[in-house]
Chains A and B, each alone.
Chain A
Amino acid sequence: QVHLVQSGAEVKKPGASVKVSCTAFGYIFTNYGISWIRQAPGQGLEWMAWISAHNGGTNYAQSLQGRVTLTTDTSTNTAYMELRSLTSDDTAVYYCARDDYGGNSNWFEPWGQGTLVTVSS
């Protein structure tokens, strides 16, 4: 069945970088995009960025522009999210989600299981 599997939890120091992976199963990877969404402890959902698995095109939230980079490896059906210059405000669960579509509409389904990134000195 269609599902996404993310890499494990990370603990990083302020100023460091983190790279989270998201491997897709059960569908043609290059037919869809992948979005990344994060959720700080006890908070709501924040969309971060999107990448086309077809051509590598990207779209980043302005608040993260310059600190986040999305890539894909079509040989392993894996998407990556790298976030640099980490601060405590980046402590969150990071989700990848397939950008599903119909007509002109898009939605996130399915989601990965989430990766907890903790930034602490």
Chain B
Amino acid sequence: DIQMTQSPSSLSASVGDRVTITCRASQTITKYLNWYQQKPGRAPKLLIYSASSLQSGVPSRFSGSGSGTDFTLTISSLQPEDFADYYCQQSYNTPRTFGQGTKVEIK
């Protein structure tokens, strides 16, 4: 199975901050990497697919980059509604695997 490792596991940030979350795969997954946001008590929501494609309706302050084994999710200016858990997920092969998650908290 492909292991997905996110860092950091949690971070504290202020509104307006630039936030970066990284995701590393245990083997190459080319561009097959997706990012999700999950708020408490809610289902995850797709933010980015295929490493860098912004899902329709997602604010442009979210962006994704990377290929191979190393990927990044960036929030250019953190907004109050962005405080949530974030997960990366590989779709290179099955079983589909997720990172352990990154909790973005209010500083």
Contact size class for B? 20 to 34
Residues of B within 8 A of A114 (CB): 43
Residues of A within 8 A of B45 (CB): 111
Which listed residue (B43, B49, B87, B91) contacts A113, Cβ 8 A? B43
- How far, in angstroms, from A62 to B1 measured CA to CA in the complex? 10
- How far, in angstroms, from A9 to B31 measured CA to CA in the complex? 37
Which listed residue (A45, A50, A112) contacts B98, Cβ 8 A? A45
Expressed in whole angstroms, the minimum distance between the Cβ of B11 and any Cβ of chain A is 16
- Cβ of B34 < 8 Å from any Cβ of A? yes
- Cβ of A35 < 8 Å from any Cβ of B? yes
Expressed in whole angstroms, the minimum distance between the Cβ of B41 and any Cβ of chain A is 9
Number of A-B contacts (CB under 8 A): 62
- How far, in angstroms, from A61 to B50 measured CA to CA in the complex? 22
Cβ–Cβ contact A47 & B44, under 8 A: no
- How far, in angstroms, from A108 to B100 measured CA to CA in the complex? 17
Cβ–Cβ contact B87 & A107, under 8 A: no
Count, chain A residues at interface, CB 8 A: 24
Known contacts: A102-B50, A108-B34, A109-B55. The answer to whether A45 contacts B95 by CB under 8 A is no
Known contacts: A45-B44, A102-B50, A114-B43. The answer to whether A107 contacts B100 by CB under 8 A is no
Which listed residue (B32, B87, B95) contacts A44, Cβ 8 A? B87
Interface pairs (9), CB distance under 8 Å? A46-B98, A59-B94, A102-B49, A105-B31, A108-B34, A108-B89, A109-B46, A110-B46, A111-B45
Interface residues of A (CB under 8 A from B): 35, 44-47, 50, 59, 61-62, 95, 100, 102-114
Interface residues of B (CB under 8 A from A): 31-32, 34, 36, 43-46, 49-50, 53, 55, 87, 89, 91, 94-101
